[in-house]
């Protein structure tokens, strides 16, 4: 989820509020969970989407819920206990999806949901260092126990060279002033290393004073650092590919993304699955008969040609939903019904 400021730069969500599941009804419509099915919630968070799935797959379905943040499991003990018969919680990054399911003897699933980014409790906990609105350690690790990802945002800011910092801010944060910011960081950290979110946010406010009507000057740099610390784009690409491979006939994958870098990966992966010929028609040298692209038939079908966006009412109720985009795809049922419609907004 994106940083919690409105375009005016003021808090858009009261701190310490529980996470409000985004596009809940739209997710249920697109995923269409049915009793007895095997489903995956790849981003459990506070379990709002999981709970809605569980209610629909009861009494004998199965839900594997993944989250790389151990605190998600501690916060939601009651939910885990209530649904213990149907729900299998797994503390893991979703790039391990296929391995985790294989370990449970599962090779196909009826549906999977990804609700990307961070949850409100993560964002609002100053100690996690995700938000420039609170003063906390410059951390940003989704999994603070993961030995495989021991570096945090402070490590990147204090040790990466100017070019790497600029690349992170430019490519992962889509920050226009990436080079200038990287230069300033490298200069300032010689006097004192960056250890807190406020320290970094102050530098960013100095370089690019806040203008009313624009996003806060720290928004993009914080996004870039969070993506780099958690390897978010690599995680997503791996998991997307695995999710599609795991879908049974008639199975569906639903993804909510919160910024254009994530959305691009989802859009391209889904388009390529639904229309491999399009993705595979680059001309190549060789005998004439091989130059004609083979007719490739896809067994995937886009449920959303355009992303589904939250309604004005949802954004008013939950401003953090405002940049959400939902895309969904289905592996064609073995006997498609004539009324096989897209879930368009």
Ligand X SMILES: C[S@@+](CC[C@H](N)C(=O)[O-])C[C@H]1O[C@@H](n2cnc3c(N)ncnc32)[C@H](O)[C@@H]1O
Query: Nearest-CB residue to ligand X?
Result: 45
Smallest separation (angstroms) from ligand X to the CB of 261: 14
Q: Give the angle 225-229-234 at the CA atoms, nearest 5°.
A: 105
Tell me the per-residue interface mask from 102 to 141 with ligand X, x by CB under 6 A, - otherwise.
Answer: -------------x-xxx----------------------
Smallest separation (angstroms) from ligand X to the CB of 196: 22
Smallest separation (angstroms) from ligand X to the CB of 100: 11
Smallest separation (angstroms) from ligand X to the CB of 318: 11
Nearest to 97 by CA among 247, 265, 269: 247
Nearest to 165 by CA among 232, 260, 229, 259: 229
> Cα separation of 127 and 304, whole Å?
38
Write phi, then psi, for 90 (nearest 5 degrees). -130, 120
The answer to whether residue 72 forms part of the interface with ligand X (CB under 6 A) is yes
C-beta closer to ligand X: residue 37 or 48: 48
State which of positions 1-20 bind ligand X (CB under 6 A): 1, 19
Smallest separation (angstroms) from ligand X to the CB of 173: 17
Q: Name the segment binding ligand X (CB under 6 A); options: 9-17, 67-75, 157-165, 190-198.
A: 67-75
**Identified binder of ligand X from the candidate list 2, 62, 68, 322, rule CB under 6 A:** 68
C-beta closer to ligand X: residue 204 or 229: 229
Residue pair 123/1 in contact by the 8 Å Cβ criterion: yes
Between helix 260-274 and helix 232-246 the angle, nearest 10°, is 30
Between helix 232-246 and helix 219-230 the angle, nearest 10°, is 60
Nearest to 72 by CA among 64, 80, 81: 80
Residue pair 253/274 in contact by the 8 Å Cβ criterion: no
**Identified binder of ligand X from the candidate list 4, 5, 43, 110, rule CB under 6 A:** 43
- Contacting positions for ligand X (CB under 6 A): 1, 19, 21, 43, 45-49, 66-69, 72, 93-94, 115, 117-119, 142, 235
């Amino acid at each position: 989820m994106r940083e919690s400021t409105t375009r005016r730069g003021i808090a858009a969500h009261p701190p310490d509020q529980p996470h409000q599941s985004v596009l809940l009804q739209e997710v249920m419509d697109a995923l269409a969970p049915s009793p007895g099915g095997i489903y995956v919630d790849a981003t459990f968070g506070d379990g709002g989407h999981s709970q809605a799935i569980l209610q629909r797959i009861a009494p004998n379905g199965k839900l594997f819920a993944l989250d790389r943040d151990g605190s998600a499991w501690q916060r939601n003990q009651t939910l885990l206990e209530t649904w213990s018969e149907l729900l299998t919680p797994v503390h893991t990054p979703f790039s391990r999806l296929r391995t985790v399911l294989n370990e449970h003897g599962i090779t196909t699933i009826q549906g999977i949901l990804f609700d990307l980014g961070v949850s409100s409790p993560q964002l609002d906990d100053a100690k996690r260092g995700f938000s420039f609105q609170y003063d906390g350690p410059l951390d940003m690790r989704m999994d603070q126990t993961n030995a495989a990802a021991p570096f945090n945002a402070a490590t990147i800011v204090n040790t990466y060279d100017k070019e790497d910092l600029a690349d992170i801010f430019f490519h992962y944060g889509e920050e226009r002033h990436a080079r200038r910011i990287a230069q300033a960081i490298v200069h300032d950290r010689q006097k004192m290393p960056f250890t807190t979110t406020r320290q970094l946010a102050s530098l960013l406010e100095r370089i690019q004073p806040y203008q009313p009507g624009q996003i806060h000057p720290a928004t993009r740099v914080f996004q870039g650092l969070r993506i780099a610390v958690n390897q978010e784009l690599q995680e997503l690409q791996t998991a997307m590919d695995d999710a599609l491979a795991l879908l049974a006939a008639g199975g569906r994958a639903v993804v909510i993304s919160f910024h254009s870098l994530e959305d691009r990966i989802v859009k391209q992966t889904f388009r390529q699955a639904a229309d491999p010929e399009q993705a595979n028609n680059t001309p190549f040298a060789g005998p004439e008969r091989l130059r004609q692209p083979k007719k490739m038939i896809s067994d995937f079908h886009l449920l959303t040609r355009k992303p589904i966006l939250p309604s004005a009412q949802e954004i008013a109720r939950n401003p953090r939903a405002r940049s959400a985009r939902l895309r969904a795809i289905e592996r064609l049922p073995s006997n498609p019904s004539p009324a096989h419609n897209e879930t368009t907004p």
